[in-house]
Structure 1
Amino acid sequence: MRFAGVAAISLDLDDTLWPFQPAVERAEATLHAWLVKHAPGTARILPARGMLGKLRNDYEHSRPDLAGNYRALRIGSIELALALAGEDMGLAEEAYGVFYSARQKVEFFEDVWPALTWLSARFPLVALTNGNADLRLTGGGAFFRETLSARAVGIAKPQAGIFHAAALAAGVPASELLHVGDDFHLDYLGALNAGLQAAWLVRDHPKETAPGEYARYVTIRDLTALCCALGGPANL
């Protein structure tokens, strides 16, 4: 597998550079402990820390107007928990700050740092996310020319505009930007439909053992494979 005419690369963050679910679960555990300490009544509403995720998802379903606004959805669900518990809703902003800080504590996949070191020495890199991870806090920001989030740009993947914004940030035509991400629809198809080149990162199902339907797509098992496809060594 080789790519042609790649002048820059954009990379998704969650589940591409690090696993998303463990980071959120740790952040929700931290938030739960903070709420129980500072707003004790929430212990009755949220007897188990895992209920924070359910409350947040239920709140999202009730507020389709906030789709994609992760900050507003999380704060709204915290306010709901505080209201149901009869606690001070004014604590929501501080509680969100606790959650947000903990959410940035991620564990990068083993292949990521060596791959980013190799890639960033050869291509302008742009981070492209629909989420709220901040590379200045997670680490790794020095590898990237710019980070574009759906919230900052005002449009989200898979809309073409956010991919075109990434190409502009990288200083290359869309056709010369290679986008890499784990989500087939948001990342892979979104990038192709925007006129980019694309690679679908499928960590759980490496291409050589993937179901047949995967074979028709450009897939990579990790970022080391991406480096190989771009002319790099097999073992960084």
Structure 2
Amino acid sequence: MIKCITFDLDDTLWAVDPVIEVANERLFSWMQANAPLFVERHSVEDIKGRLRTKVVEASPHIAHSVTQVRLAALEAGFLEAGYPKEQVVDLVEASFRVFYDARQEVSFFEHALSMVEGLKKEGYQVGAISNGNASIYKVGLGHCMDFQLNADEAGVEKPHPDIFEQVLAAQNLRPEQVIHIGDNPVADVQGAAEVGMWTIWVNLKGEKWPGGPKATADVTCLSQIPVAVASINQRRRACL
């Protein structure tokens, strides 16, 4: 039977772009008061674009981690702005904390929280597998999720099989005991399916499937997920 349900977070349980936009605004407001030279030289687009590209090209081994890339981009930006190296360490730490805290202020999609809470109450083990750096404990999911693993911690990002296999090993699960749920046809559906997990595609925009092996099930509203989980569980029992 199905024992565990894992979720992607960004754009599956909430829209991430508005969250990042507000977090960047909060960051630059802090910088205007605490690091004006950075603001004089750089824009938000520089952090997301030129500075990010610069650090990823110089350190491709950190490309999987949005946290490490953001930290490196901030460091590069402060140095370019003329801050001394001994001051940059503290500025990077403080500015990232401002961004990171704001990044946790999410607005759940309709039915998201009650749906996850309901699955937990049904007795499923519930967790998160994400490429981003949202914390289940800071966004308000700690009471209904048992664990999480993100790309920074795993050392790889979805759809790499290692991130899924690390969860299986850590939770002592077989892939056929797990349903992974997410919005990305490649990172979530393909990645999880390739290690043998069942999959549910969250398609809130009603888009056409882009091609390739389809998910086990798909939903256009998060309220449909419990029924999809029950259906997969029934299929799983039939295979035993």
TM range (shorter): 0.7 to 0.9
In structure 2, stretches of 5+ residues that fail to align are: 232-240
Secondary structure in 1 matching 2:143:
helix
> Cα offset for 1:12?
0.7
Distance 2:212 2:115 in 1: 24
Distance 1:119 1:11 in 2: 12
In the TM superposition, what are the counterparts of 1:208-223 in structure 2 within 5 Å? 210=208, 216-217=214-215, 218-223=217-222
Distance 1:21 1:56, change over 3 A: farther
Distance 1:26 1:128 in 2: 24
Query: Contact (CA 8 Å) 1:30, 1:102: kept in 2 or not?
Result: yes
Distance 1:196 1:105, change over 3 A: same
Q: Deviations over 1:97-154 (max 9, x none)?
A: 1111111111111120110121111211011112211111111111111111222233
Aligned to 2:93: 93
In the TM superposition, what are the counterparts of 1:132-211 in structure 2 within 5 Å? 132-205=133-206, 210=208
> Cα offset for 1:214?
9.0
Secondary structure in 2 matching 1:198:
strand
Query: Contact (CA 8 Å) 1:10, 1:166: kept in 2 or not?
Result: no
Q: What amino acid sits opposite 1:7 in the alignment?
A: K
Query: Contact (CA 8 Å) 2:10, 2:16: kept in 1 or not?
Result: yes
Aligned to 1:52: 47
TM-score normalised per structure 2: 0.84
For residue 15 of structure 1, the aligned residue among 11, 25, 28 is 11
Query: Contact (CA 8 Å) 2:46, 2:52: kept in 1 or not?
Result: no
Query: Contact (CA 8 Å) 2:65, 2:157: kept in 1 or not?
Result: no
Distance 1:155 1:50, change over 3 A: closer
Counterpart check, 1:37 vs 2:33: yes
Query: Contact (CA 8 Å) 1:17, 1:112: kept in 2 or not?
Result: yes
> Cα offset for 1:212?
8.6
Distance 1:170 1:66, change over 3 A: closer
Q: Deviations over 1:161-217 (max 9, x none)?
A: 3223333444432112000011111110111110111111111116xxx46959954
> Cα offset for 1:222?
2.8
Distance 1:73 1:212 in 2: 29
> Cα offset for 1:223?
2.2
> Cα offset for 1:16?
0.9
Q: Percent identity?
A: 26
TM-score normalised per structure 1: 0.85
Distance 1:83 1:104 in 2: 27
In structure 1, stretches of 5+ residues that fail to align are: none
For residue 66 of structure 1, the aligned residue among 39, 56, 62 is 62
Query: Contact (CA 8 Å) 2:67, 2:152: kept in 1 or not?
Result: no
Query: Contact (CA 8 Å) 1:124, 1:170: kept in 2 or not?
Result: no
Distance 1:92 1:201 in 2: 36
Query: Contact (CA 8 Å) 1:14, 1:131: kept in 2 or not?
Result: yes
Aligned to 2:238: none
Report how many aligned residue pairs link the two structures.
Answer: 224
Distance 1:101 1:6, change over 3 A: same
Aligned to 1:114: 114
More displaced 10-residue stretch of structure 1: 182-191 or 218-227: 218-227
Secondary structure in 2 matching 1:141:
coil
